[in-house]
């Protein structure tokens, strides 16, 4: 299981960027899930940033909740304001 941190820019000029975490088996599946997510319908694809993090089931549960341990999907959609709170959860380590 992999967690992807995604940051996307809006299609509308001057709008705020957004971040989310995607639980998926691979990058292709992660991008497909992102394209289908209603929250990201107003954002440019491909995303500006797509970082992969390796995670155990326990790490996923601690960072994103129990549902994320057995269901692929997009979690934690956040519109960014000032600053960038969209860093990977502490329980998840970045893959090289």
Is pTM beyond 0.85? Reply is no
Per-residue model confidence as pLDDT tens for the chain (96 residues): 788 999 999 998 888 999 999 999 999 999 999 999 988 988 999 999 999 987 788 888 888 889 988 899 999 888 987 444 444 444 444 444
Question: Would you say 5 and 77 are in contact if contact means Cβ atoms under 8 Å apart?
Answer: no
The structure tokens listed for 63 are 């960072």
Confidence (pLDDT) at 83? 44
Confidence (pLDDT) at 88? 46
48 burial type by CB count under 10 A (0-12 exposed, 13-18 middle, 19+ buried): middle
């Amino acid at each position: 299981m992999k967690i992807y941190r995604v940051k996307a820019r809006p299609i509308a000029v001057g709008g705020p960027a957004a971040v989310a975490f995607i639980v998926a088996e691979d990058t292709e599946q992660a991008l497909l899930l992102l394209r289908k997510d209603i929250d990201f319908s107003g954002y440019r694809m491909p995303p500006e940033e797509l970082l992969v993090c390796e995670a155990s089931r326990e790490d996923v549960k601690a960072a994103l909740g129990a549902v994320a341990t057995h269901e692929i999907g997009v979690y934690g959609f956040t519109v960014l304001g000032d600053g960038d709170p969209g860093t990977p959860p502490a329980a998840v380590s970045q893959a090289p």
